[in-house]
Structures are given as structure tokens and as C-alpha cells.
Amino acid sequence: MDMFGTQDWELLGSIVLIALLALVAFFVWRRNESQGLVDRFGPEYSRAVDELGSRPKAEAELRARQKRVAKLDIVPLTPGEAERFSREWRAIQGRFVDNPKGVLADADRLVRELMQKRGYPMGDFERRAADISVDHPDVVDHYRAAQAIATLDRAGDADTEALRKAVVHYRALFDDLLEVRQDERAPANHMEAHS
């Protein structure tokens, strides 16, 4: 004797179907969210997965970075500020042949100053790199490479070629951070063309 009538089976089937559809929708949403993080962070996504040991932990960390940076007041530079930073960078590069170790320290100082001017907090290096990765994921590896060479240099283990590479890495980050206010962009581009 069947305890369920036809209507009961239809209701149960509907409930199961709705549950399956909700489950599929959840997995599609999670996949899209994961893909969004991959697209946004690029190689930094893989680095976080490797470092933290799992996709869920890495994704939680990357979402936390986004939330933290969203609360910061990251601002573009005025054209005058951008020109000053560019002028200082050119002066630093011009001194490399005479003082490569000093130039590396100056490049690091100028990049930090630029980050601070834009509104990034100046916590420890890993926090700075994490914050930079949110808006500048394509160059955060340059920052890490430059810092690794600077660490070698402090230990006396970096030759002139390594120092040159570090300055090139700093330059990649510097160029990406050198963002000028949109409403005043044209004059800054004009100045860059003559530098």
C-alpha cells in the first residue's frame, strides 16, 4: 500500500528539482566568482593558492584584500605630482653607473613615497605587496623581485647586474603606479612624450 499519493510524489519531485537547481546555481556562482578572482589577480591568484595550499583559502585571502583596499582612499596624482616623481626617477636612473647600491635604495624609497602619496598604507612588505596586488596585479611580481634582490644586496650577495634588474623591476611598478587624475590627463601625457 502506497503511503504517498500522486500529488505527494509530484510535490516531492518538485522539491528535489528545486534543490538540484539551487545546487547547480550555487556551483555556477562559485565558479564565476573564482574565475573573476583569476581574471582580476592573474598570476597573484596562483601564487596565493600555492602559498596558502588551497583555492578556498586563497580566494578568501584575495577577497579580504579587495575589501581592505576598497576601504583605503587610493587617489591618482595631480599632473604636477606625477611630473615631480618622473623627474626624480630620471635622476635616480642617471646615477646608476656611479652608485648602483645607492640607486637601488633610492628607487625603493621613491616607490614607497609614490605608494604613500597614492594612499597605500606603509605596513610591512607583504602587506604592501598584497595591497598593491588588488589594483596592480600585473606588476606585483616586479615588486617582490626587486625586494628579493634588495635583501640579497643588504647581505652583500647582489652584483651590479642584479642591482640593475632590481631597478628595472622597481621601474615597472613605478610606471604602473604613476596614475594621473583623468580630468587632467592630457597635459601629463604631453609631458611624458618629451621626457
Higher pLDDT, 183 or 127: 127
Confidence of residue 29 (pLDDT cuts 50, 70, 90): confident
d(CA 41, CA 142): 14
Confidence of residue 2 (pLDDT cuts 50, 70, 90): low
Average the pLDDT over each of 8-12, 69-73, 85-89, 155-159 and give the range with the smallest value. Answer: 8-12
> In whole numbers, what is the pLDDT of the chain averaged over residues?
87
Confidence of residue 119 (pLDDT cuts 50, 70, 90): very high
| Maximum average pLDDT range among 9-13, 54-58, 121-125 | 54-58
Confidence of residue 188 (pLDDT cuts 50, 70, 90): very low
pLDDT at 3 over 90: no
Q: What are residue 77's DSSP bridge partners?
A: 180
* Through-space distance between the first and last CA atoms of the chain, rounded to whole angstroms: 90
d(CA 48, CA 54): 8
Longest Cα–Cα distance of the chain, Å, equals: 97
pLDDT of residue 131: 93
Higher pLDDT, 3 or 162: 162
Give the closest residue to 82 by CA, choosing from 167, 194, 174, 171.
174
Sequence-distant (6+) residues with CB within 8 A of 138 are 42, 176
pLDDT at 184 over 70: no
Averaged pLDDT, 41-46: 91
